[in-house]
Amino acid sequence: MAKIAIMGFGTVGSGVLEVCRRNAASISRRAGEPVEVKYILDVRDFSASPDAALFTNDINTILNDPEIKVVVETIGGTKFAYPYVKQCLQSGRSVCTSNKEMVATYGAELLGLAREHGCAFLFEASVGGGTPIITPIHQCLAANTITAVQGIVNGTTNFMLTKMKRENMGFDEALKIAQQLGYAETKDPGDDVDGRDACRKIAILSSLCFGRHVYPQNIPTRGIRDITVQDVQAAEKLDCAIKLIVWSRKNKDGSIAAAVEPMLVPFGNQLAGVDDVFNAVLVKGDMLGDVVFYGKGAGKLPTASAVVADVIDALKNGAAVHDSLFWQPAQPAEGQFRNEEYAPAYVRVNGLNGAVLQTIYGKGSVMFEQDGQCAYLAEQSNDSGLEQAAAKVQALGGSVALVLKKLAD
């Protein structure tokens, strides 16, 4: 019998215990032996729980027990999770995690420790929740050179943008509903609506696809706070939907470009039809072409099921999984990545009219003018051009409220 430990007993951690018990027979068949949770590490008091005997508040309880072969980390963050995971890997125990912040920040180091100590570091649930993305990329697409990845990886913002589109709902009202349904944090929804969650996920995907560590701090990140109903309606007139898109690509010179940003997505693009809490990731391979992974990006049991699948993989394959699942360490780049490819850009500006915007942004068309604001679609622009235009807008007493670049068809 394989004995495992769970570190952190929140939503996902409790889901892991539930999945292990509810699907014990099928897990045993796939792992080649029964799998049992022996310890749960959590500093909170669970003395009233039916499983009180499993709980410990000391990591050494796990590290000193030779029966524990795999540890599940669902603490979240890095303050405690990172040193605990390092200790587990250094002791030769495999670790399976859903912790996107830890993987995005320390992934190369932890993968290296796993290979060094003959164990596995697995994180399928860190990007797609219950939707498989990591394993298909490093196994099924292993014969492909991946040149680009793009998609929708945050179900909360996608749900909100869907509400804004279908029901002409403002940002604040859409956020309130997302919080009521448990999709967004009540106290601080910033990780979702400001794009930090999505940034960590595209950092992980970029690292895996391009073979070297890509850091979140190098990825320009904008969320959806500034989007209004008027913007959504203007997008529809352009046969587009507004989506929070993550993207990265490897340029011909070997450099990497990446961003998290709300974009105009043409209705003909597969990502335009991804609504509600669903996610989709499109991977471009040189042999296979475009491949799309689609499904719900979160949820207690879907995410827990992905973690348990990693547990089975760790028990069966151990360090062998890192023959394909790895990326090279790298130092953070200086500053943030830039995108100098030209594309149409929708800008909403305070304090200037359409005639002035045309002289600043070049050829294009006015989408609407009202309440001291003007929305303008520039036919072609890039990062440098948009920065220069924003400086001109400011010099004339205006301010840029929103920029939405158009995703290629």
E strand map for 221-271 = 240-250, 256-266
Assign residue 404 a region (left: φ > 0; alpha: ψ between -120 and 50; beta: otherwise): beta
E strand map for 82-156 = 94-97, 121-122, 146-152
What 8-state DSSP symbol labels residue 140? I
Give me 296's structure tokens: 């719900």
Out of 201, 243, 250, 300, the active site residue is: 201
Pairing of strands 278-285, 364-370: unpaired
Give me 216's structure tokens: 């979140």
CB of 310 closer than 8 Å to CB of 114: no
C-alpha 36/C-alpha 71 separation (Å) is 12
Does the active-site annotation cover 201? yes
- Could you report how far apart the first and last alpha carbons of the chain are, in Å? 52
E strand map for 176-324 = 240-250, 256-266, 278-285, 289-296
Pairing of strands 256-266, 278-285: unpaired
C-alpha 166/C-alpha 168 separation (Å) is 6
C-alpha 378/C-alpha 388 separation (Å) is 14
C-alpha 264/C-alpha 241 separation (Å) is 6
Distance (Å) of CA 133 to CA 33, 127, 370: 26, 7, 43
Give me 365's structure tokens: 């068309």
Catalytic residue ranges: 201
